[in-house]
Amino acid sequence: MSGEIFNPNPTVFRSSVKSHPSRHLLAAKKSLWMIEPERSQLDQDVEDLEEEAIDQDEIFGALSFLYWLELSINRWSCIDLIRNIYDPEHPNTLEELHVVSAPQIDIGENRVKVEFTPTIPHCGMSTLIGLSIRVRLIRSLPTRFKLDIVVKPGSHQSELAVNKQLNDKERVAAALENPALVKTVEDCLTGRA
């Protein structure tokens, strides 16, 4: 069965380029990562995954992109990394839902700060979205960058709790040792579900 949808009708700001299969929220150890609200029926059946063929051009494109990235890290290259992360609840990207945008990225010499805007102030998916952003940036940016991932001030009713969790390296490390949670993050990163 399907879990509670926090925001059943989000505003989509741009139609997606290609259609995606209906997405199901994957079971995650909510006690590990989800902050609120308390829910018991998060565990659900996992849909069979459609393995997508890996495109050689994509690999080459990604490699040259990373090379270029090392040369010029700016808010535009950073937004390119996270714009196509999918929302855990909707077949839309974070960019389409205006969860992330280039002006919300701040780059210092060795620091990247990403602010994101949950679609609704009680969005229980915020920590998962933030974790997905963090994982994508950890994997893509040179290690010299320290990451700060925060929700836009005033955009979430549990702003402090969400920010604290997203920036606790020990909690992040433990979350990334949880296979169910990692799979959920992977699905957000790849758009599969």
Partner 1 sequence: MDEEFVYTLHNVAELGGHDDRAWHIAWNPTKPLLASCSADKSVKLYTYNHDGEGTLKFSLATSIPTGHLKTVRAVAWSPSGCTLATASFDANIGIWEQELDDDGNPGEWECASLLEGHETECKSVAYSSTGTLLASCSRDKTVWVWEVQPDSDFECMGVLMEHTQDVKCVAWHPTEEILASGSYDDTIKLYVDDPQDDWFCCATLTGHESTVWSLAWSPNGKYLASASDDKTIRVWRRIGEYEFKCVLVLKGHERSVYSVSWGVGKSSPNLDTSLGWIASAGGDGFIRVWDISETSSSEANIPSAKLIARLPAAHGVHDINSVVWSPRKGYEDLLATSGDDGMVKVWRIRET
Binding site for partner 1 (CB under 8 A): 31-32, 110, 143-144, 146, 164, 168-171, 173-174, 177
Least distance from partner 1 to the Cβ atom of residue 133, Å: 19
Do 187 and 193 contact (CB within 8 A), yes or no? yes
Closer residue to partner 1, CB minimum distance, 70 or 168: 168
Q: Residue for token digits 């990373």?
A: 66
Tell me whether residue 155 or residue 163 sits nearer to partner 1 (CB atom). 163
For the chain, give the number of residues: 193
Q: What is the 3-state secondary structure (H, E, C) of 108-138?
A: CCCEEEEEECCCCCCCCCHHHHHHHHHHHHH
Based on CB atoms, which residue is closest to partner 1, 112 or 193? Answer: 112
Q: How far is the CB of 38 from partner 1 (least distance, A)?
A: 15
179 sits in the region (left: phi over 0; alpha: psi -120 to 50; else beta) called: alpha
Tokens at 87, concatenated: 């929302």
Least Å distance between CB 73 and partner 1? 14
Report, in Å, the least distance between residue 23 CB and partner 1. 28
Q: Tell me whether residue 97 or residue 135 sits nearer to partner 1 (CB atom).
A: 135
What's the closest the beta carbon of residue 101 comes to partner 1, in angstroms?
26
Which residue, 103 or 153, is less far from partner 1 as judged by CB? 153
Alpha-carbon span 95 to 82, nearest angstrom: 8
- Rounded (10°) angle between helices 126-140 and 75-82: 120
Residue 19: which region, alpha, beta or left (left: phi > 0; alpha: psi -120 to 50)? beta
Q: Which is nearer to partner 1, 92 or 126 (by Cβ)?
A: 126
C-alpha 166 chain-centroid distance: 11
In whole angstroms, the minimum distance from the beta carbon of 177 to partner 1 comes to 5
DSSP 55: P
